């Protein structure tokens, strides 16, 4: 009887504990470059959060002022959309989904997903640029189906751009 009580409590607890990871395909640097229709360096100039047409999802769109295009021809600005955001007291958080702040500078690997432009591989395709000229992505909140461990990429921005261009010229 005690065993059943423990199992029932474990089942209830499991349904109450939120999941804090999103499972996605682990992408190598080569795969990020290949899957992207555009790779840009840019600054976040504005954000807009809104509900989907059916009201069930929250989306956030970020307007990116493109400083440099490493792949593709995206134009002077790109509107990037992610699932998640805050409207009033309602928050939708998707673990591993990139989030941006106005003024943030990053290199972004972009793909078209239906009518939206999104980041390839969630946080894997967002490389924030620090004030010391280094780039780094984050793999926080991401798990991979094959159990592979993820390590963020970190290097000087100039070397990063050189590595992207090398892969594009193969």
| pLDDT for the residue 6 | 32
Closest CA relative to residue 33, chosen from 89, 111, 104, 131: 111
For the chain, the C-alpha Rg in angstroms (whole number) is: 19
10 pLDDT above the threshold of 60: no
Percent pLDDT > 90 in the chain is 62
Instruction: List pLDDT tens digits, range 50-106.
Output: 999 999 999 999 999 999 999 999 899 999 999 999 999 999 998 889 999 999 999
Q: To the nearest whole number, what is the mean pLDDT of the chain?
A: 84
Mean pLDDT over residues 31-56, rounded? 95
Instruction: List pLDDT tens digits, range 68-77.
Output: 999 999 899 9
Half-sphere exposure of 146 (CA within 13 A, CB side): 6
Closest CA relative to residue 118, chosen from 25, 14, 36: 36
| pLDDT for the residue 22 | 56
Instruction: List pLDDT tens digits, range 136-163.
Output: 888 777 777 777 677 788 899 999 999 9
21 pLDDT above the threshold of 60: no
In this structure, the dihedral spanned by the alpha carbons of residues 35, 37, 38 and 39, taken in order and rounded to 10 degrees, is 10
Q: Which fold has domain 18-168?
A: OB fold (Dihydrolipoamide Acetyltransferase, E2P) (2.40.50)
On whether the pTM is more than 0.95, the answer is no
SS3 109: strand
pLDDT band at 2 (very low <50, low <70, confident <90, very high): very low
């Amino acid at each position: 009887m005690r065993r059943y009580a423990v199992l029932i409590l474990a089942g209830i607890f499991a349904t109450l504990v939120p999941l804090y990871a999103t499972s996605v395909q682990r992408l190598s640097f080569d795969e990020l470059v290949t899957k992207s229709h555009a790779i840009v360096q840019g600054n976040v100039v504005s954000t807009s959060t809104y509900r989907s047409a059916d009201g069930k999802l929250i989306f956030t769109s970020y307007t990116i002022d493109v400083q440099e295009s490493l792949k593709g021809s995206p134009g002077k600005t790109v509107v990037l959309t992610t699932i998640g955001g805050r409207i009033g007291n309602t928050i939708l958080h998707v673990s591993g989904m990139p989030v941006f702040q106005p003024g943030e500078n990053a290199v972004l690997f972009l793909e078209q997903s239906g009518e939206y432009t999104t980041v390839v591989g969630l946080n894997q395709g967002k490389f924030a640029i620090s004030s010391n000229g280094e780039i780094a992505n984050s793999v926080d909140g991401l798990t991979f189906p094959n159990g592979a461990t993820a390590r963020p990429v970190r290097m000087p921005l100039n070397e990063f751009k050189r590595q992207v261009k090398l892969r594009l010229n193969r």
